[in-house]
């Protein structure tokens, strides 16, 4: 395994999430520095500055050819076009703490509200709808589009995985392991959703009818944070506490790899435009992972 780190910000910037944009570049958030970054592999990074205190967190490619992101501290949804033009949309619920965001099958963006127990939906024109969850203090976190036409999300403090249909109907599936605290979630190549359990040191797999399988990591204190489909049918994840990235196959075979810089705080991970895996390191770099 070859892992190379590319510095994209100083240590105070805090690269947090990363995704591949429609322009063939990597786009990432600077959660502590208040910015959105762009890196075309092989070139120097560029940074688009936002309100320094807005806390841009998760970023995803929208259906309109722009990048959409959550502003956790400013309680807004942001949009940045490939040319750097930024639009920001305030949310109806005050201090709702938007975190995860993903494009849905209906052509809208769906997002979580960690502090309001709601799932939100925003159209590309900026119209917002909100859907209350059937739980309080659930801390909905990451969200992804499933293969079944719904959006799947983690309920970090309710210890469950949720699903919301395009009609707003919500189902909640409790996890077998108590206090597992799921965070990252992604749709796998196998039609299931895969998620990480940050407090339990496990990777989970859930079928669309709610059946769960859990796989223990070699280091149960690794605090896995994010997960994404890899190029060869496996899932890749970050270990925030273990300073590693890892992969898991459909039958549960796990391999983990140390990052070069100690205590680099890996968070987001994505499949890049060059076919490599890229992870955001909160200490100021993006790590490129290839075999």
Residue with tokens 């280091």: 219
Longest C-alpha distance within the chain, in Å? 47
**In angstroms, how far is the first alpha carbon of the chain from the final one?**
4
CA distance 203 to 217: 7
Q: Is 6 annotated as a binding residue?
A: no
Nearest 5 degrees, angle CA 109-CA 15-CA 37? 70
75 a catalytic residue: no
- State yes or no: 173 annotated in a binding site: no
**Exactly one of 6, 48, 75, 267 is catalytic; which is it?**
267
75 labelled as ligand-binding? no
CA–CA gap between residue 148 and residue 155 (Å, rounded): 19
The tokens of 4 are what? 């190379």
Give residues with Cβ within 8 angstroms of 93, minimum separation 6.
75, 113, 116, 118, 130
> Quick check: 73 and 55 in contact, CB under 8 A?
yes
Q: How many Å apart are CA 151 and CA 187, to the nearest integer?
A: 10
Own/partner pairs for 172-176, CB < 8 Å, 24+ apart? 172/133, 172/134, 172/135, 173/206, 173/210, 173/212, 175/204, 175/212, 175/214, 176/212, 176/214
3-state secondary structure 5-47: EEECCCCCCCEEEEEECCCCCEEEEECCCCEEEEECCCCCCEE
Residues tagged in the binding site annotation for Mg(2+): 265, 282
Residues tagged in the binding site annotation: 225, 265, 282
Residues tagged in the binding site annotation for substrate: 225
Residues marked as catalytic: 267
């Amino acid at each position: 395994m070859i892992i190379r780190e590319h510095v994209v910000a100083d240590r105070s910037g805090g690269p947090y999430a990363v995704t591949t944009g429609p322009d063939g570049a990597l786009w990432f958030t600077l959660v502590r520095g208040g910015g959105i970054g762009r890196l075309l592999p092989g070139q120097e990074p560029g940074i688009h500055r936002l309100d320094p205190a807005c806390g841009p967190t998760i970023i995803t490619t929208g259906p309109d050819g722009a990048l959409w992101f959550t502003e956790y501290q400013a309680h807004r949804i942001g949009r940045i076009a490939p040319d750097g033009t930024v639009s920001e949309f305030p949310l109806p619920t005050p201090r709702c703490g938007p975190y995860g965001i993903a494009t849905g099958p209906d052509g809208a963006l769906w997002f979580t509200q960690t502090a309001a127990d709601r799932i939100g939906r925003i159209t590309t024109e900026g119209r917002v709808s909100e859907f209350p969850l059937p739980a309080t203090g659930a801390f909905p976190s990451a969200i992804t589009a499933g293969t079944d036409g719904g959006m799947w999300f983690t309920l970090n403090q309710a210890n469950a995985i949720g699903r919301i249909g395009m009609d707003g109907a919500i189902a909640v599936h409790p996890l077998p392991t108590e206090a597992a605290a799921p965070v990252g979630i992604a749709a796998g190549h196998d039609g299931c959703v895969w998620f990480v359990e940050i407090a339990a040191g496990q990777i989970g797999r859930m079928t669309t009818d709610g059946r769960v399988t859990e796989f223990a990591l070699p280091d149960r204190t690794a605090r896995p944070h994010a997960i994404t489909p890899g190029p060869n049918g496996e899932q890749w994840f970050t270990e925030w506490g273990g300073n590693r990235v890892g992969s898991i196959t459909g039958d549960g075979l796990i391999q983990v790899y140390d990052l070069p810089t100690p205590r680099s705080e890996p968070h987001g991970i994505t499949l890049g435009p060059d076919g490599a895996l890229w992870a955001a390191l909160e200490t100021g770099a993006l790590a490129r992972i290839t075999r």
